[in-house]
Amino acid sequence: MSIARMKKIHITGHNSIREDAVGLLHQWGAVQVNDLREEFKDKNYFENNGEKKKTGEDNLRKVTFITKFLERFGMKTSMLKVMSEGKEVVSRSRLEEVMNRLDMDGLYGKCRELEKLLRQTDKNRVKAHERISQLKPWVAMRVKLAELQDTVKTRVKTGTVDLKDYDELITELRNNPGTEVIQVGRDNKSGYIFLVYLKTVDGVVDELLKKHEFNQVSLPLEDLEPEGFINQLENSIRKYDKQEEELVKKAEGLTSNKQYLNILYDYYVNFSERESVGDFMAGTSSSFFLSGWIEGKNSNKVKKELESKFREIEVFLADPQKGEQVPIVFENNRLVKPLEFVTDLYGKPEYSGIDPTPYFALFFLLFFALCITDAGYGILLTLASLFVLKKYKMGPGGTRFWKLGLYGGITTIVVGALMGGWFGNTIDILPGFQGLKDIKGAIMIMDPIKSSQTFLYFSFLLGLIQVMFGIAVKFYMDIRDGDIAGAFLDELPWFICLPCFVPIIIGFFGGGPVSGAWGAVVKVCLLVVLLFNGRKSKNIILRLVKGTYRIYGGIDYMKDILSYSRLFALGLGTGIMAMAVNNMVTLIPSGSIVGVVFMVLIFVGGHTFNFVMNLLSAYIHTSRLQYVEFFTKFYESGGQEFRPFMERRKFTEAS
């Protein structure tokens, strides 16, 4: 259980076998192809790669557009359905059949045209609605819109004014010779005015309009009155609606191509990837060069296969050089592998680091179960995980997540039974069932509510154990890397020192001695830290300062241990909430059908809510304990995930 050893692979060959060689690498999915453009940016090794038209990328773009367009008309592909029913196995003959049956360019053209017409229809309808909204306040005006234009001697204006100025403006305009005002109407905020006046009184009218903040409105110059033009627009909207219905029917008629599109999508995704990898390869007019990473266990097999299939190829293998960014692959057994989901969320380790997954696996599952402390909830989680794993076919990430849920559910059943939690205190309040109660009592070793202080101390003890285990892992890494001094002078003193605080604290609160042999051990360990933690500094004062700072930093260890009290808090909270739900159920009279229904609803609803909320809390806080309290003792992220050049299928499987 470790980080897989990686090899650098270099492949050189003649261009005549390039496509076949790349196709095999893609099929095997064993090599992560490196981008050589930066390495060879000053050399003319990419002259042929960028000129070739990428058919796969172009066709993938078309398939993607068609699919997204037709999804609007009922061709939605449910991933849950794909996961539950399985993916179609597509043979080469099936692929050729699909390509012959489906005129993709023709379908693409139809979809493009339909989208254009639908967009234009919608645009026309929106414009018509906007014009109707603009004209509705003027419907009482019995004048053709085309006549709302200036003449040689007169000006025509339509507009609005705030209601507080409306009556005053009307009066002042009517008192002005050469002016005719028509009150069109008003709404809650404004009054609408149709104004005709002689150009000779321009100045006076403009001053009045400015004074009362008149807002001029430009209306469309149609040879109809507002009401007639609105009717015309409404007829147009009905026409646009009918056009849209016809276009939608045509689009719906194309959704029968869904199964073909799914097959072509997967095909062109991989075809495009095979084409695109050429951008990362160097080459000349007659040869190509590919470089990448491969797991050491697969390297010789790939080299042998390529060289046996192609005479015009050479494969070279090399170990990683110091300073190279090597992709990371975990090598864990089937039991530990689901826990990689937790590690990946934090980040891959560096190639020279260590895979923390097997070291925190048992801690994670135990802590998760302690946060829930209810066997009933563990049963629910186990059944839900089993259902999803059996019903749906998922990728590696989804499978690991639900297997992690399965492990957490099983662990929670065990821990919950030992803590006596079965949907809270449901068994205890059930009338009868004495045998079941006896079995529960025989299995239970601690009630976290009645023995809350013991539960808290147990949480601290687990924290101490995991923190010490983290120090032990760092001790091992120092020994592995040849840092003997670091192992024995930096890690070992704290590993010895931390457990000595337990009897000292017990003695302090129990009224006993607080020093003695335990205190002597602590003093010796802290003295070693003081004298040797800054050993790389030549200045003795600086050494002591660094040693003192490290001793002060040792407080972080105590803070980390205290942080495990969240196990106590969450475990206790789950049990109390479950009991509260049960107490609410017992308060409801059960003598009628209505009462029984309410009891069931409260029991199911309350426990479901408690289960979901505490499930999330358990995962979050258990992960936090690993990331903050455990990983910080030895783990450094920063590695890159191994991403092999391989087939990626969403809807189909290769035969």
E strand or H helix that includes residue 63:
helix 55-70
Sign of the CA dihedral with 150 first, then 153, 155, and 156 last: negative
CA distance 642 to 331: 12
Beta-carbon-side half-sphere exposure of residue 492 (alpha carbons within 13 Å): 13
**Token pair recorded at residue 484:** 């003997």
Q: Is the dihedral of CA 542, 545, 551, 555 positive or negative?
A: negative
**Tokens 């939608």 found at:** 248
Helices and strands, number each (H, E), in the chain: 24, 16
Write out the two tokens for 306: 């390529």
Instruction: Judge whether 342 and 626 are in contact, CB under 8 Å.
Output: yes
Structure confidence at residue 48 (pLDDT): 47
- Encode pLDDT of 468-518 as tens digits: 999 999 999 889 888 898 888 888 888 888 888 776 666 555 555 555 676
Contact at 8 Å (CB) between 467 and 560?
Answer: yes
Alpha-carbon 195 to chain mean position:
61
Distance CA 184, CA 142 (A): 9
Which residue's entry shows tokens 């905020």?
A: 189
**For strand 330-331 and strand 652-654, is the pairing parallel, antiparallel, or unpaired?**
unpaired
The C-alpha angle 489, 495, 496, rounded to 5 degrees, equals 90
Measure the CA–CA gap between 205 and 232, rounded to whole angstroms. 35
Q: Which residues lie below 8 Å from residue 615, measured CB to CB, with a gap of 6+? A: 372, 377, 381
- The closest of 517, 556, 516, 551 to 534, measured between CA atoms, is 551
Query: Cβ neighbours of residue 281 under 8 Å, at least 6 residues apart?
Result: 33, 36, 49, 288, 289, 290
Which pLDDT score is estimated for 46? 56
The overall longest dimension of the chain from CA atoms, in Å, is: 115
Cα 582 from Cα 448, distance rounded (Å) = 17
Q: How many CA atoms lie within 13 Å of 286's alpha carbon, on the beta-carbon side?
A: 1
Measure the CA–CA gap between 119 and 244, rounded to whole angstroms: 10
Q: In what order do the strands lie in the sheet with 154-162?
A: 179-186, 190-198, 154-162, 215-216
Q: How far apart are CA 39 and CA 4, in angstroms?
A: 26
Distance (Å) of CA 122 to CA 125, 131, 247: 5, 14, 12
- The helix/strand/coil state of 90 is strand
> Residue 481 carries which DSSP code?
T
pLDDT of residue 75: 61
Backbone angles phi, psi at 87, to 5 degrees: -95, 145
Determine the 3-state secondary structure of 459 from DSSP: helix
Residue 452 has a CB neighbour count (10 Å cut-off) of 15
364: amino acid identity, one letter: F
DSSP lists the bridge partners of residue 639 as 348
Q: Distance from first CA to last CA of the chain, Å, rounded?
A: 33
What's the pLDDT tens digit per position in 12-61? Answer: 999 999 999 999 999 999 999 998 877 776 556 654 444 456 788 899 99
* Tokens encoding 642: 């191994």
Which residue in 586, 587, 581, 583 sits closest to 602, CA to CA? Answer: 581
All structural domains of the chain, each given as residue ranges with its CATH number in brackets, are 2-52+268-328 (3.30.70.120), 53-133+227-263 (no CATH), 149-218 (3.30.70.2750), 357-634 (no CATH)
- Strand 88-90 relative to strand 6-14, pairing: unpaired
Find out whether 315 and 307 touch, Cβ atoms under 8 Å: yes
3-state secondary structure of 45: coil
Say what the pTM is: 0.78
Q: Six-digit token pair at 472?
A: 């032990």
535-550 tens-digit pLDDT = 777 777 877 777 777 7
CA 40 distance to own-chain centroid:
36
d(CA 314, CA 116): 52
pLDDT of residue 79: 55
Closest CA to 193 of 169, 216, 159, 221: 159
Residue 250 burial by Cβ neighbours in a 10 Å radius (0-12, 13-18, 19+): middle
Of 394, 105, 110, 112, residue with least CA distance to 264: 105
Of 73, 114, 33, give the one whose Cα is nearest residue 256.
73
Contact yes or no for 450/410 (Cβ under 8 A): no
Q: Which residues of the chain have pLDDT under 70?
A: 1, 41-53, 75-86, 503-516, 518, 655
Specify the length of the chain in residues. 655
Q: What are phi and psi of 212, to 5 degrees?
A: -100, 15
Both structure tokens of 577: 């909430």
Q: Which tokens belong to 360?
A: 């925190």
Rounded Cα gap, residues 160 and 190, in angstroms: 6
Return d(Cα 415, Cα 362) in angstroms, integer: 13
Place of tokens 């796969």: 56
Which of 139, 124, 651 has the alpha carbon at shortest distance from 393?
651
Cβ–Cβ under 8 Å, residues 42 and 274:
no
**CA pair distance 66, 54, nearest whole angstrom:** 19
Assess contact for 63 and 265: CB atoms under 8 A: yes
Query: Which of 276, 290, 274, 282 shows the shortest CA–CA distance to 47?
Result: 282
Around Cβ 115, how many Cβ atoms within 10 Å? 16
| Identity at 70, one-letter amino acid code | L
Helices of type H across 253-349: 258-276, 296-309, 340-346
Q: Model confidence over 233-276: pLDDT tens digits?
A: 999 999 999 999 999 999 999 988 888 898 899 999 999 988 88
